């Protein structure tokens, strides 16, 4: 019998402000995808168990990484991929247009820079993986009222 792959669970947020989306430039000290553009978020802690574990963990990650407090958020999509560390990742993405605070590179170990980019500006970025660009396209199509 073939062993099933183990998945790291990642949670991330498409944070939208008008026609711009918040992206981070991952720290060069990051093990996975150092220096690339990414959505803010992080790994789900195995110890975190609650009915809203994903949402709570994402709110914590966003505050720790970029200093924002998220308001209402909705499920956007999920995807799986093989990371450059050779581990499988299940990434769950939420969309939010509601937040307080000002985005800054709060966690220097994880974030080198924060950027607010339009969808067309992001499309021109070569250092952004296709799955991140796809999440932004999905968010632009989905919207929130």
User: What is the structure's pLDDT at 89?
Assistant: 85
Helix (H, G, I), strand (E, B) or coil at 115: strand
Strand pairing of 20-26 and 37-38? antiparallel
**What pLDDT, in 10s, does the model give residues 12-66?**
999 999 999 999 987 656 666 656 899 999 888 766 656 668 898 899 999 999 9
**Residue 33's pLDDT is what?**
63
Fold (CATH) for 7-142: Nucleoside Triphosphate Pyrophosphohydrolase (3.90.79)
Whole-number pLDDT of residue 145: 42
Beta strands in 44-110 (DSSP E): 69-70, 74-82, 88-96, 99-100
State pLDDT tens for residues 98-143. 999 999 998 777 888 999 999 999 989 989 988 899 999 999 987 5
Q: Look up residue 105 and give its two tokens.
A: 């590179």
> What pLDDT, on a 0 to 100 scale, did the predictor assign at position 46?
66
**If 0-12 CB within 10 Å is exposed, 13-18 middle and 19+ buried, where does residue 143 land?**
exposed
Give 77's pLDDT tier (boundaries 50, 70, 90). Answer: very high
Residue 110 has a pLDDT of 80
Query: Would the pLDDT of 5 be above 90?
Result: no
* DSSP one-letter code for 53: H
Task: Look over the chain and give the mean of its residue pLDDT values, rounded to a whole number.
Answer: 85
Domain ranges of the chain: 7-142
- Specify the length of the chain in residues: 145
- Whole-prediction pTM value? 0.86
Q: Over the stretch 81-101, which tens digit does the pLDDT of each residue have?
A: 887 778 888 999 999 999 999
């Amino acid at each position: 019998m073939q062993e099933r792959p183990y998945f790291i669970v990642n949670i991330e947020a498409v944070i939208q402000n008008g026609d711009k989306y918040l992206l981070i430039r991952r720290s060069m000290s990051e093990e996975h995808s150092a220096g690339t553009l990414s959505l803010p978020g992080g790994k789900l802690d195995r110890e975190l168990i609650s009915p809203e574990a994903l949402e709570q963990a994402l709110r914590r990650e966003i505050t720790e990484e970029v200093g924002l407090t998220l308001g209402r958020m909705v499920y956007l999509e999920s995807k799986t991929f093989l990371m450059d560390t050779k581990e499988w990742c299940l990434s769950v993405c939420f969309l939010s247009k509601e937040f307080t605070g000002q985005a800054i590179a709060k966690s220097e170990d994880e974030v080198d820079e924060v950027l607010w980019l339009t969808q067309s500006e992001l499309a021109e970025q070569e250092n952004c993986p296709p799955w991140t660009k796809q999440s932004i396209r999905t968010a632009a199509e989905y919207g929130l009222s």
